[in-house]
Amino acid sequence: MRNLAALAAIGALCAFGAHQAGSSEPTIVGTWKLISFQSIADNEPAKDALGADPKGYMIVTSGGRVMVQMTSSSRKAGVEDAERAALHKSMVSYSGKYRAEGDLFITTIDVSWNAAWNGTEQKRHYRFEGDKLMIDTIRQPSVVSPGKMAIGRLVWERDK
């Protein structure tokens, strides 16, 4: 679950909106809709980390804050402990202050669904492909392929 959170954080870490004033370069500010979230382990095909149709948004403010909420589309309401635990495992949510350094988007997490993230720095690589924002985590233990190393890849598009 900790790795899933790390993968999810990448999605929220890099959200780019409109273009910067007087520039054709995209800006980090905007609201982004999650298109896909995959884990790519060594020598394996990509696997959907939150299912084939994940739901989520990332909001990046001009004041330096990012907020991310991502869930599996197959979530069902739960009341019992096991059902509630399953809900927790099928989501990622956090907020923090961000900064960009080259192709890195770095977020200092101040609140998260996973308390282990609070106070940590999450680093992600980002790039634009057309009107999509591609975010890759650093190589880390896989969330969906235990015992293997993987990167998380999130694809976002500007919310319209």
Q: Provide the CATH number for the domain around residue 33.
A: 2.40.128.280
Nearest CA among 4, 2, 26 for reference residue 15: 26
- Of the two residues 1 and 65, the one the predictor is more confident about is 65
Residue 17: predicted pLDDT: 38
**pTM of the entire structure?**
0.81
Q: Kindly tell me if the per-residue pLDDT of 13 is higher than 60.
A: no
* Average pLDDT along the chain: 84
Report the first-to-last Cα separation within the chain, whole angstroms: 31
| Spatial separation of the C-alpha atoms in residues 91 and 111, rounded to whole Å | 14
Task: Say yes or no to pLDDT of 28 above 80.
Answer: no
Average pLDDT on 70-89 reads 90
At residue 85, what are phi and psi to the nearest 5 degrees? Answer: -65, -40
Res. 99: pLDDT tops 80 = yes
On whether the CB atoms of residues 138 and 123 are closer than 8 A, the answer is yes
Per-residue pLDDT, 8: 45
Whether 21 has a pLDDT exceeding 60, the answer reads: no
Structural domains in the chain (count): 1
Enumerate the β-bridge partners of residue 134: 127, 155
Q: Which domain holds residue 80?
A: 2-158
Given this model, what pLDDT does residue 14 score? 36
Radius of gyration of the chain (CA): 15
Q: Is the pLDDT of residue 1 over 80?
A: no
Q: Supply the pLDDT for residue 141.
A: 81
Q: 3-class DSSP state for residue 78?
A: coil
Evaluate if residue 117 carries a pLDDT over 70.
Answer: yes
